[in-house]
Amino acid sequence: MSKRESEAAFQASLAARLKEAGTAPTGGMHMTSAPTGQSKSLDQLMEDNAPRVLDVPAPPQPASSSASPASVVHDSIIERIAVQLVVDSPWQPRTRYDETELQALGQAMKDRGQDEPMKVRKLANGQYELISGHRRIRAARLIGWPTIAATTVQMDDKQAELATLVSNETHVGLSDYERAKAYKQALDHDLATDQKEVGRLFSCSQSRVSQCLTLYKLPEPILQLLDKYPDLIAYRHARAILKLVSEFPAGEEAIVAAVESMIDHPDLELDELRSLVEKALTPKRPRPKALEPRVIGDKNGSTVFSVKLHERQIVINIKDGVDVEMAGKRTMAALREFAQMIELPEKEKSLKTKT
């Protein structure tokens, strides 16, 4: 049987089966043609469908709803909103933004458009509060975009808080301290009952939650430093610092100073940090105080000799005009007379006799 006959037989068999099933074919089988032309960015697709994008407020959530903060959000809609109307979330854990990274993100958005819409909720005053997209809105401002694509969702405060905290967990550049702030906030605001639930909400391990929360056991002055420099130390530094606090309970000032030095030396290793603290806290041996020179004058009060005692040495400076040889003889005579008045310990005396 030829290939053509086999294909014709297959088509006839298929038509018979479809007819029996009550679904008659409208023609021969065919493959859908592949799409042609350039692919479109999110912005272009939104412009093509602009008549269907309406600024329609989402219906209010019933007051009696018992939905949890993790409930599915109702009635999201994508729209273009003015950049100037977008405000930060009050629950955003990120405290600092890297200017270089924002510039790179802005250039990428400028080159290829906006890859995905931000997520916001509309406030009563007409502004839009960010749920996710805090870096993207800053990049948009840097490159001068007047509007930006955003998904507007309906959320109450508790839902918005949790959604903002969770959305930042997977985003770029969060420090251990910023993560710790988010985890602690979830616990303090009853969004989670324990560290295990925090890990479930943030899609991370309980051990990671515990490690980051270790930072909150640090002395208050160090936490104040972290509020200004959130990426100053990681949780592994926190464990080493807590060990130092335990070993040197009175050395908090030196420990804080050592941590502060990491602002200018971010690559400081843990053993170097310990060395700084130990060096600051180790008592320094006092240096023996050098005795002031003693002055011996003539009968008119003019200085003839200045005598300086240094450890086990006597240094005599003789002024000009004095007979040095005579001064030496008289000094030796005085020392001999003094020697006759003392007696060395037996050990030293025996050594002296042998020599």
CA 262 to chain CA mean position, Å: 12
Ranges 138-152, 226-240, 292-306, 311-325: which has the least confidence: 292-306
Handedness of CA 133, 137, 138, 143 (dihedral sign): positive
Q: What is the mean pLDDT of residues 123-128?
A: 92
Phi, psi values for residue 305, rounded to 5°: -130, 145
Q: How confident is the model at residue 206 (pLDDT cuts 50, 70, 90)?
A: very high
Give domain limits for the chain.
41-59+69-174, 294-354
Q: What percent of the chain has pLDDT over 90?
A: 22
Per the structure block, which two tokens stand in for 331? 């000094």
Radius of gyration of the chain (CA): 42
Beta bridge partners of 152: 77, 120
Q: What is the DSSP letter of 232?
A: S
Residue pair 206/199 in contact by the 8 Å Cβ criterion: yes
Which residue type occupies 272?
E
CB 215 within 8 A of CB 226: yes
Tokens at residue 339, please?
Answer: 């020697």
Q: Which of 164, 131, 152 is nearest to 78 (CA)?
A: 152
* Predicted confidence (pLDDT) per residue in 229-281, tens digit: 888 999 999 999 999 999 988 889 999 999 999 998 888 888 888 888 888 88
E strands present in the chain: 74-82, 86-87, 118-122, 128-132, 147-154, 294-297, 303-310, 313-318
- Tell me which fold the domain 41-59+69-174 belongs to: 3.90.1530
C-alpha torsion sign, points 236, 239, 240, 241: positive
pTM for the structure as a whole: 0.51
Segment 162-189, tens digit of pLDDT: 888 887 655 556 789 988 988 998 899 8
Tokens 């975009």 locate to 145
- Is 115 strand, coil or helix? coil
Separation of alpha carbons 299 and 334, rounded Å: 19
Question: Contact, 209 vs 197, CB < 8 A?
Answer: no
Nearest to 93 by CA among 173, 208, 207: 173
Q: What is the DSSP letter of 176?
A: H
